[in-house]
Each structure stands twice: as C-alpha cells, then as structure tokens.
Amino acid sequence: MILTFEQALQTIKEKLSAAAPSIPTETLPLAEVFGRILAEEVFADRDLPPFHRSARDGFAVRSGDFTALPVTLKCIGEVRAGGYFHGSVGQGQCVSIMTGAPLPDGADAVVMLEDAQVEDSQVIFQKPIRAFENVIHKASEAAQGERVLSSGQSLGAGEIGLLAALGKVSVKVFRKPLVAVLATGDELVDMNQKPEWFQIRNSNSALLAAQIAQAGGIAQIFETAPDEKTALRRLIEQGFIADLLLLSGGVSAGKYDLVEQVLAELGAEFYFQKVAIRPGMPVVFGRAGEKFFFGLPGNPVSTYVTFRLFVRPTIRALSGAPFAKPLFLRARLASSVSRKPNLTTFVPAWVDSREGVPTVDLVKWQGSGDLVGLTAANSFLVVHPEQAHLEAGDWADVLLVDH
C-alpha cells in the first residue's frame, strides 16, 4: 500500500505517541544546553521586571501634572540603571531618569528626552502624557512563581537568556537519542578509500550524521553493509542497540535490495514501505521490538529529503519535543513548473526576496543522485499531488533546508 505524504507523517506521529518511550534526563550547566529540549517546568523566581522600569532616557513625571500644556516642572534629582531614587516625586516635580532605572515613588510616567526642554533646573513639556507611558509595569512579563517555560520546549538563545535572567544556572534536559546509521550497498567504499571506477564512496553516512546532529541526535555510524543477508542481518542487529536505526539503500525493488527481507526475518513490523513522494518513494518505516527504524532510499538526495521530512520530526520527538510536521512557507514562483501528478514532489530551489516578495526558483538539478545540485539550493519547492502544473507568479509552498 502506498501512503500519501500526509498519511505517512500521521502514521509516524501516531506510532511514536502510542509507544511513548520514556526519555532519560540529565541536568547540565546552562552553557551546555543550547539546542536541547527542556525536561522541567521553569518558574519566575521574581517578578519580571522586578520594578516599574523606565523604557526611555528622559524624565519621570506625575501624569496628573499634565492637565494644561505646556507643563513646567522642577527637576529634583536623577536616577540611573543600577540605582534608585531616595525620595519621592511631588506635585510640580520631575526626576531625570535613564533607561532601565526604577521609576521613583510618586512618578507614574516617563517623558522621553526628545520631548523635554531643559532650562536650568526647570523642564518644560509641550506634549500630553498618559499614566505608565514609557514604563514597563512591574511583573508585566511574568509574576514571581509564574511558569515561563515548559517541558518539551526547545532551548534556543532566547530561552537561554530567560533562564539566565532567572538565575537558573543548571537545567534539566532530555538526553539526546542515539541514532545508528547503516549504509548498505556492494558498490560502496569508505569515504577515505580510493574507489575503483565502478565503485562509489559512501557519502550517505556522513550526510546523515550531519542531519542527525542538526536534529539533536547523536549519530553512531556502522561499517557499510554489503548486499548479502548474513552480514546485513548482523549489522542490523547491532544497529538496534541505538534508540533509532537508519538504513540507507537497499529498499527499492531490485534483486539485491535486501533490507526489508532481513528486517522481516528479524520480526519487524512495517508501518509503510512506500510513500507518494518524489524523490524518496521507497521510504520504509517500522519497528522491531522496542525500536523504530527507517529504511531510506540510497540516492543521496532521496536520503536527504526523506530524512528532512520524516526522520527529523522523529528524532525531535525522541528528544522530548512534541511531534512537529515540516513547516512549509509560501513564495512566488519565478518560472512555471510541471511535475508528475499524484505525488508530493520536492524540487531543490533557491528562495530569496525580489522587490520585497519571497520568490522561489529552481536550481540546476539532475535528479535524486545529484548532490552538486542539492548544494546549490537553500530550499525545496513543494509541488502537491493535485498541482501538476504551476505558472510563473503562482504562490507555492517552500521547505527551507536549514529550518
């Protein structure tokens, strides 16, 4: 049975959530958690901001003084970030204030410097002001005790900044999943060997290791498996030590495509063995015992695309994040495109801004073996099954490669 792209993703999502593997956690220093998935709830240890904070350089004033313009106030002092005003702003008074400083008692707004005219100790204001203008209210970002981050959230630079602001110097995160990589094919030699004219270097193991690292997993590369059952079986059994096994090659219909046969002999259950996508139609997903596996087609761009579409979300889920389908963005087509109908097709493309409009154009590409073409792309144009033909100027879906 052949699944649609959407059905294949849905299948993976359901199988992973039904298995709900418990993921071990570890506590690491903040400097080591970038890109990891949070495994605890994080609460504000104090109000954010901890005081009414000035958002501008200017004058702290009482908005009640601004009934008739212009307003002239007496400047009675100064407050800067890192200090506080020892006293209170009374009627007819103001205090010079810097960005980040706490609003003095009595004041309820800040007039920015550009809107004030200083004459000795007098300041003249021409414009009206509302209460709390240019002031960030105490606790407006989060109140003390409020949850600010949840388990399952990805820790990017912003999250790390927030954790630092809360004084959270060590953080509980999920362990990275171990992902076994097993390339198959009699034609393959190791990348540091010189191939005979009829051989090719194994590039998929290195390619997959990079994609695994980017997805948040740890790659474990196995020796290349020949197209021979006994050796293949031995290596597949070893590969199941990891949290997830990725095989490349040997999943098409050829006489020496033995991956599925060997997996079946090991008692594997197959959830799909074909998806209506191009490249990557023969992609396989299943489970043997506790462990999930993917059989990825061996053509390097097929390997790349099927990883990006199906394996990346799986690794994220095995890292503790919610399952997330690949996100497509929209761009305008630079030239017309025709593709075989009834398939979801991913075509290497370049997307950039032309006259302010995101625009996508195809790159020179020879098909699913063409890594040179792939490296000229920063995205894939997504042609949906019902979209056999798209015109220049049409809006189309785009998958960014580094997203």
Binding residues vs Mg ion (CB under 5 A): 185, 249-250
Main-chain phi, psi angles of 9, to 5 degrees: -65, -40
CA 27 to chain centre: 22
Does 246 bind ligand AMP (CB under 6 A)? Our answer is no
| C-alpha count within 13 angstroms, C-beta hemisphere, residue 151 | 8
Q: Are 269 and 258 in contact (CB under 8 A)?
A: no
Does 286 bind ligand AMP (CB under 6 A)? Our answer is no
Nearer to Mg ion among residue 49 and residue 185 (C-beta): 185
- Name the binder of 299 from ligand AMP, Mg ion, none, CB < 5-8 A by kind: ligand AMP
Integer Cα distance of 368 and 233 in angstroms: 27
Residue nearest to ligand AMP (CB): 298
- Name the binder of 373 from Mg ion, ligand AMP, none, CB < 5-8 A by kind: none
Main-chain phi, psi angles of 158, to 5 degrees: -65, -45
Integer Cα distance of 42 and 166 in angstroms: 9
Where is 313: in which H helix or E strand? helix 312-318
Q: Are 240 and 182 in contact (CB under 8 A)?
A: no
Nearer to ligand AMP among residue 177 and residue 185 (C-beta): 185
| Nearest Cα to Cα of residue 299 among 277, 315, 316, 331 | 277
- Residue 236 CB, shortest distance to ligand AMP, in Å, is 15
> Which listed range, 24-32, 52-60, 80-88, 202-210, lies at the site for ligand AMP (CB under 6 A)?
202-210
Does 4 bind ligand AMP (CB under 6 A)? Our answer is no
Integer Cα distance of 33 and 180 in angstroms: 23
- Residue 261 CB, shortest distance to ligand AMP, in Å, is 13
- Considering only residues 216, 217, 298, 373, which one is a binding residue for ligand AMP as defined by CB under 6 A? 298
- Name the binder of 134 from Mg ion, ligand AMP, none, CB < 5-8 A by kind: none
Does 284 bind ligand AMP (CB under 6 A)? Our answer is no
For ligand AMP, the binding residues (CB under 6 A) are 183, 185, 187-188, 200, 202-204, 248-252, 254, 257, 297-300, 369
